[in-house]
Amino acid sequence: GMSIGPAAGGVLAVKLGYNWLFWVDGLTCLAAGLFLTVATRKGSSADLSVSTSSADLGSVVHPPHRNRSYLLFLLATFLMGVGYIQWFNAVPVFLKGEWNFDERYIGLLLACNSLLILLLEMPLIHLTEQKELGRFSVLLGLALIGASFLPFLLPCRLVWGFAAVFLYTMGAIFFLPYNNAGPVNMSPPGRRGEYMAWYWMCWSLTGILAPAFALAFADRFGFAALWIVLLLLTSVSWLLSWRSGSPVAK
């Protein structure tokens, strides 16, 4: 879906207009909801209650806001997320407004991202787990995400667009699975839900602040300055991850 959607959306927008794109988008979402309703009608809900033993309660030592290592992890995640989320906000605006790509090419680039993830993520993560290269994977992923903005500093070429997508996608493949596992690896059993909540609140804050910041910054200082700032933010995230020694990076 993530591979077909951007490419199909780009073709629909160019050939039939955005009106049809929104109709198709809305109808497919309604169809998904209807299918989910029908498919789960006969299912029985499992008992998901969890008992907390005294041993678990004894392991509850640090809430998230008092765990310095976890707060550094969240800061690193936030800084990386500011850059990561621009691929769905500032980058399409740049490709359309500055490089004059039409929606078909933008959709094709985003579709390549999802297709690469579909083909490569599980084998590569399995390999890094087998070789115990989790820390290396995190740092490599951050470096690649930061480097993915550099092709946008070059003259407009479709090949640079594909190069940027490849760097970004490989960075996401190496970094995000271990980053997602961070709250589980760093939390005591009795506070796992709290740690997960803080993690997703961090991503929500990124989603609220990053798009407005990036587009306002680009409007005032230009996209070239924005790409450099995002590279710097990702570099700070890399340094925090390198120095923290948190379980997510091992």
The answer as to whether 55 is a domain residue is no
Question: Among residues 50, 48, 61, which one has the least CA distance to residue 188?
Answer: 61
User: Does residue 133 lie within any of the structural domains?
Assistant: yes
* 124: nearest Cα among 181, 178, 176, 174: 174
167 in the same domain as 109: yes
Tokens representing 112? 């390549």
Both 106 and 182 in a single domain? yes
In angstroms, the CA 81 to CA 130 distance is 27
d(CA 191, CA 194): 5
Domain extent, residue 3, equals 1-36
The predicted pLDDT at position 2 comes to 62
pLDDT of residue 54: 42
Residue 4, C-beta contacts closer than 8 angstroms, at least 6 positions apart: 111
Q: Are residues 202 and 101 in the same domain?
A: yes
123 found inside a domain = yes
Q: Going residue by residue through the chain (250 aa), what tens digit of pLDDT does each one get?
A: 766 776 677 777 777 888 888 898 899 999 999 999 999 887 655 554 554 454 444 444 678 888 888 999 999 999 999 999 999 899 999 999 999 998 888 888 888 888 898 899 899 999 999 998 888 999 999 999 999 999 999 999 999 999 999 999 999 999 999 999 888 888 888 888 899 999 999 999 999 999 999 999 999 999 999 999 999 999 999 999 998 765 554 4
Residues 81 and 122 in one domain: yes
By 3-state DSSP, what share of the chain in percent is helix, strand and coil, each rounded to 5? 80, 0, 20
pTM of the model: 0.78
Same domain, 11 and 106: no
CA 105 from chain centre, in angstroms, equals: 21
Tokens of residue 35, six digits: 């299918």
112 domain-assigned? yes
Q: How far apart are CA 162 and CA 154, in angstroms?
A: 13
